[in-house]
Amino acid sequence: MKLGNIFKQADSSDISSISTNINANTSSNTNTEINWKQRGVNAAGLAQGKVIAYEANLTAEVGYMKKQQADDISKQESWKEELLNKKSEYETEIETKQNLLDAEDEKINTIQLEIQDLNAKKKKLATENKTNKNALVNFIIGLVIITGLTIYLFIFYSSTAYSAFFKEFGLDNTEIVSEMFDSQALSNALNDGATELLFVLLIPTIFLGLGYVIHQFESKTQNKNEAKMNVIKIIALYLITFLFDCFLAYKISASMYEVLKAGSLEDLPPYTLSMASGNVDFWIVIFCGFVAYIIWGLVFSFVMKNYEDLHKNTSVINQINSNIQDLSNQIAKLKTNTTTLKNEIAKLKGEVKKIENSLSQGIVIDWNEIKTALSAFNQGWIAFMTLQNMPATEIEEVSNIYEKFIEGIN
């Protein structure tokens, strides 16, 4: 194909027909859009809609628009002023975000110094974290005592529980000591049944459990309100233990009284609480149980305290590790914020650079206006090709060239 044929002018009647059609279909558009569509029709007509001429026409139209914009002094001054204002806005925003970034960096530095101090303190404590010999001696002595008291309480409460709930008293069972410490309590309970044995074996754990709970309330770190509530709870637990001991003492002393009453020739009155309170046997049971229980609780707290003091720095080191972890989490959050701020600042600086590049060229080009004009020009060119019944493949090729051209402008 000869180059001259590319730009061979189309029949004027065809162009006139297309122009009439464009005006009819773009009545709602601006005059500028109509004009650029018309320019697209005219350019396509001159080139007979040839694909090979399309990109050259786009380039020519860009040059034409740039010259028009450069020659419009009023627009240039307005655009330059607008760009300078936008540049000032970006710079102010950059300064604000930079101040925020500096503040976040300062927080990170402060926290990092705090972590360094904590690590140094932890290292020193770890070096000093040797066994406390005094605490070790107290712990061993207390452990021996608490072991003996635990065995004593187990024997006492298992025996008294058996005597109170399962034992049948006779005239030969009137000694309170023998009833509290019945050497046959476990074997007799086994003979009575597995349930009775299990009950006798487990009932001491009630008192040991109460003593453990009391220790937890005493050793727990607490504010004033919690301290008051814990004191009330401790008193309630001691009261429950005392009442349970009173019940066991009353049950045993009452059973023994009934045996004496049955074997007496005199008519003895029924056993009452007032009689129990004046009965030495009643108080022996209480003191052998409740007083030993209180001593067990005090020794248990003593043993636990000395155990903690064996390596007294361990708990402090654990707390330091927890604090370091919390501070590290804070740093992670701050670094996420600084990364976001840095990205935003970089984006704003890019916009400022674009404005500076535009201003340094001496003229300001409104590429959005150019792209709008090219879009209308492209519609006019394709309208010509469509009404000329040109192949769909060529129309599609023109559309692809247009998209790539606009992408290049972007």
Q: What is the pLDDT of residues 355-364, one digit of tens each?
A: 888 777 777 7
Q: State the residue range of the domain holding 272.
A: 131-310
> What is the DSSP-derived secondary structure letter of residue 116?
H
Residues 406, 268 share a domain: no
Residues 259, 201 share a domain: yes
Residue 187 domain-assigned (yes or no): yes
Residues 341, 260 share a domain: no
Whole-structure pTM value: 0.43
pLDDT in tens, the chain (410 residues): 333 343 344 454 444 544 444 444 443 344 466 788 998 999 999 989 899 999 999 999 898 888 888 887 877 877 788 888 988 999 999 999 999 999 999 999 999 999 999 999 888 877 765 666 777 788 889 889 989 988 888 887 787 777 767 666 555 554 555 555 566 767 777 777 777 778 777 777 877 787 778 777 766 655 667 777 777 877 888 888 788 778 877 777 777 777 666 666 566 777 777 777 777 777 877 777 788 888 888 888 888 877 777 766 777 787 888 899 999 999 999 999 999 999 999 999 998 998 888 777 777 778 888 899 999 999 999 999 999 899 999 999 999 999 999 888 76
Residue 383 domain-assigned (yes or no): yes
Residues 185, 75 share a domain: no
Report pLDDT for 6.
Answer: 36
Residues 136, 103 share a domain: no
Residue 36 domain-assigned (yes or no): no
Residues 75, 87 share a domain: yes
Tokens coding 3:
């180059």
Residues 408, 289 share a domain: no
Report pLDDT for 138.
Answer: 83
Residue 278 domain-assigned (yes or no): yes
Residue 155 domain-assigned (yes or no): yes
Report yes or no: 350 and 110 within 8 Å, Cβ to Cβ: no
The angle formed by the CA atoms of residues 156, 158 and 161, to the nearest 5 degrees, is: 100
Residue 43 domain-assigned (yes or no): no
**Domain count for the chain:** 2
Residues 348, 262 share a domain: no
How many CA atoms are closer than 13 Å to the CA of 109, on its beta-carbon side? Answer: 6
235-242's contacts with Cβ under 8 Å and 24+ in sequence apart are 237/210, 237/213, 238/214, 238/294, 240/210, 241/207, 241/210, 241/290, 241/293, 242/286, 242/290
Give how far Cα 16 sits from Cα of 10, 38, 276, 297, 360, Å: 10, 10, 128, 111, 44
Q: List Cβ neighbours of 386 (8 Å cut-off, separation of 6 or more).
A: 395
**Helix or strand holding residue 207 (H, E):** helix 194-219
Residues 136, 111 share a domain: no
Report pLDDT for 170.
Answer: 53
